[in-house]
Structure 1
Amino acid sequence: MALPIKDQLKYWGIATAVFLIVLWFLGDVILPFVLGGAIAYCLDPIADRLERAGLSRTASVAVITLATILIFVLLFLLVIPTLIQQTSSLINTAPELFDRLRSGLLERFPQLMDADSTISQQLSAIGETIQAKGGELVNGILSSALGLLNIIILMVVVPVVAFYMLLDWDNMTAKVDSLLPRDHVETVRMLARDIDKTLASFIRGQGTVCLILGTYYAVALMLAGLNFGLIVGFIAGLITFIPYVGALVGGALAIGLALFQFWGSVEIVTGDFTTQGTDWIRIGIVAGIFAFGQFMEGNILTPKLVGSSVGLHPVWLLFALSVFGSLFGFVGMLVAVPIAAMIGVVARWGVDQYKRSLLYRGTSEGD
């Protein structure tokens, strides 16, 4: 005989509360395990495909591990040093870029020269803050979230966790399936399949879109001659999974840097006079790179790789990222998308059950 609904809700509510409390207290401690599990989940289809090709599970995981190590070594040797160098240069150049912005505004709006004006005071305050806090911010980041010890732990623990979870993925899922409540096993399996479909469409598909767009932006901007093109492409690709935010942030950053770099970079000779002109062609090329990237994302990449049946509305996704990020920090942002997908699937199933119930239909429809 099944437990009453009231008791079931009590036990599931306790389990949910325990999960949230553990997530709250452990925080960054479980970060390597969350990342390792996410990597194993994303690579499991590749391992399954290699198994179907005739390899054992161990051999499949070994092939994936060797390929991953090779890619990581290539990135470490070719990309990461340049990325770090451009990031450091961008931070160090930020005060100079801001001074140029202020000078350009003062040339076009002389009234800003008035020291008593609100805009002039705000510009001065922002400039002083950038100069005073820029280095302090970098040092704070390096000493906290990106400290040497944390980096070492992530680089060592995450691959080990991912390796073992990928190796035992099928056994773990079978073990979890054997622990499901027998009265609800089919319903839970159905919900799990829907959640897996949603996560596979979003995380694997959107992750591929982020990788493709990030690579495209970085290479295209560097070929266009934009300073810091690699870091701009990295940032734009990294946050592409947030609807519209990746394009807006990356585009604004790239076009802003292009304006600073190419404004007054062309010498125009008129008779005996030489003036500085703006290279609008280069600025237009940078803007066109992002316009073409958005066209590719909206019409080719997202429909092909993600699909239209993900079921994660952009507003719901932004809300989940904001809530979990504010409550649980960086770990919360990592688990926000999977939990949002789970809640969305369960909510749709609950609405479907509600529409089938007498509470919604009433007795007249049955009669």
Structure 2
Amino acid sequence: MTLRNQVLIWIAFFVVLLLVLWIFRGILLPFVVGAALAYLLNPLVNHLQKWRFNRGWATAVVLLGVVAIILGLFFMLVPLVGQQVVGLVQRLPGYASDLQSLARRWAPELNAWLGPEQAARLEATLTDLLGRGVGLVGAISAEVLASGWSVISAIGFIVFTPVVAFYMLLDWESMVRGINNLLPVQQAEEIRDILAEIDSSMAGVIRGQGSVILILAVFYSTALTLAGLNFGLAIGLIGGLFSFVPFVGFAIGFVLSMGVAIVQFWPNWWLVAVIFAIYMIGQFLEGNILYPKLVGSSININPVWLMFALLAFGFLFGFVGLLLAVPLAAIGGVLVRYGVRKYKASTLYLGQDGGEGGDETPA
């Protein structure tokens, strides 16, 4: 099969895949989360098998343990976090008004420092930004409430997700063997290499980046709560959980924290400085310790491409698209790099003589 035909077949495959995802986007959530759980927990099941557990018992033990942990955290944290999130959304307009009042108090100092014209422009800009921010949070909250799950959808998700994860974990080895047996014989080794690279990238996304998100959420929520910040638990969790989007999680958490801290602690600037320091420490930990150690270069995706993927898949497939965006972007990155390598080894790139002084390289 020529390279051109291979490329066309793969393009057709991905077009059909995207079409299927779009058609069934309304029912995919439990299957996507269940598959992610199965991929995440498969190493633990394999480890238990080495201790002479059979596959069924190992799957049941691991999955029941994870479900018990999730349910425990759910019943402990959800009432408190939900109360704080609702309170934060309700208080945001008041915080914006308080910040504007503080800005007016500082107006004489700003006039003396910047001049009347620049100070007026700065105040107008801050007022506009605050209005847009409050409006955005209100719109997001309204959208979440409007598109919230019905009781039946929530029960379906809670019931089907563990079932999907269980059967995928139970049949994981047979699924891998089945895919391996379907590979074209002549290209099998090359495809296995690509799949191994995809597996490494997916491990960085689901295991590595998932660990980073959880650690940041725990760090920010704990540190902000201990610092005495109002709604610190909710703000920390929101900032940490949104950190899968480059710079967005940090920006949301930092702006909310600093706005609440200025209103709450003014004129005690030391406590405001503590909140600022918490986010600087979090950024240092994320950029210099957590991300290099837990994720490394396995994802290897440009942040701009990642943000485009999140927006595009979120627009096309909704919440399921947001969950699929990063893994599919990682897979796309692997395939693009493979395509570039093949292109650079082809006569289209090297020329008919195979480059300077080189032998002709077949496409």
Change (3 A) 1:126 1:340: closer
Q: 1:145 aligns with which of 143, 148, 157?
A: 148
Over residues 42-62 of structure 1, what are the superposed CA-to-partner deviations in whole Å (9 max), with x where a residue is unaligned? 111121122123222112211
Q: Where does residue 311 of structure 2 map in the other structure?
A: 322
Change (3 A) 1:236 1:328: same
Aligned length: 347
Matched, 1:191 2:194: yes
Pairwise CA RMSD:
2.9
Deviations 1:21-79 (A, max 9, x none): 11122222112111111111111112112212322211221121221122123212221
The percent identity for this pair of structures is: 42
Classify 1:118/1:207 alpha carbon distance in 2 versus 1 (closer, same or farther; 3 Å): closer
Change (3 A) 1:339 1:139: closer
What SS class does the counterpart of residue 239 from structure 1 fall into?
helix
Q: Within 5 Å, give how 1:233-248 maps onto structure 2.
A: 233-248=236-251
- Tell me the residue number matched to 1:156: 159
User: What whole-Å deviation, never above 9, does each CA across 1:138-174 have from its counterpart, x for those lacking one?
Assistant: 4552341344333222212212111211221111121
Which ranges in structure 2 are unaligned for 5 or more consecutive residues?
A: none
Distance 1:52 1:124, change over 3 A: closer
Do the aligned residues in 2 keep the contact of 1:99 with 1:127 (CA within 8 Å)?
no
TM-score for both structures, normalised by structure 2 = 0.86
Q: In structure 2, which of residues 97, 100, 118 is the aligned counterpart of residue 99 of structure 1?
A: 97
The answer to whether the Cα contact below 8 Å between 1:141 and 1:147 also exists between their aligned partners in 2 is no
Equivalent residue for 1:334, pick from 300, 305, 323? 323
What's the CA shift string for 1:55-109, capped at 9, x where partnerless?
A: 2211221121221122123212221111100011111112211221222233334
Partner of 1:267: none
- Cα distance in 1 for residues equivalent to 2:80 and 2:89: 14
Q: CA deviation at 1:285?
A: 1.2
Relative to structure 1, the CA distance from residue 243 to residue 122 in structure 2 (aligned partners, 3 Å threshold; closer, same or farther) is closer
Matches of 2:141 and 2:295, distance apart in 1: 35
1:38 to 36, 39, 49: 36
Equivalent in the alignment of 2:358: 366
Q: What's the secondary structure of 1:193's corresponding residue?
A: helix
> Does 1:313 find its partner at 2:299?
no
Distance 1:304 1:68 in 2: 24
Residues 245-284 of structure 1 mapped to structure 2, 5 A cutoff: 245-263=248-266, 278-284=267-273
Q: Which stretches in structure 1 are left out of the alignment for 5+ residues?
A: 264-277
Residue 50 of structure 1 is matched in structure 2 by: 48
Equivalent-residue separation in structure 2 for 1:241 and 1:130 (angstroms): 23
| Contact 2:201/2:330 (8 A) holds in 1 | yes
Give 2:240's aligned amino acid.
Answer: G
Distance verdict in 2 for CA 1:357–1:81, change over 3 Å:
same
Give me the whole-angstrom Cα distance separating, in 2, the residues matched to 1:361 and 1:354.
Answer: 9
Aligned to 2:15: 17
337-346 or 97-106, which deviates more: 97-106
TM-score (norm 1): 0.85
Partner of 1:232: 235
Alignment correspondent of 1:200 = 203
Distance 1:346 1:233, change over 3 A: same
Q: Following TM superposition, by how much is the alpha carbon of 1:8 offset from its aligned partner in structure 2, in angstroms? A: 4.0
Distance in 2 (alpha carbons) for counterparts of 1:187 and 1:78: 48
Aligned-partner Cα distance in 1 for 2:103–2:84: 27
Q: Secondary structure at the match of 2:24?
A: helix
Alpha-carbon distance change, 17 to 308 in structure 1, aligned in 2, over 3 angstroms? closer
Name the stretch that deviates more: 140-149 or 34-43: 140-149
Give, in whole Å, the separation in 2 of the partners of 1:279 and 1:296.
27
The one of 319, 330, 345 equivalent to 2:334 is 345
Q: Which residue of 2 aligns with 1:296?
A: 285
1:327: how far off?
Answer: 2.4
How far apart in 2 are the matches of 1:170 and 1:24? 29
**Equivalent in the alignment of 2:87:** 89
**CA displacement at 1:248 relative to structure 2:** 2.2
Following TM superposition, by how much is the alpha carbon of 1:124 offset from its aligned partner in structure 2, in angstroms?
9.3
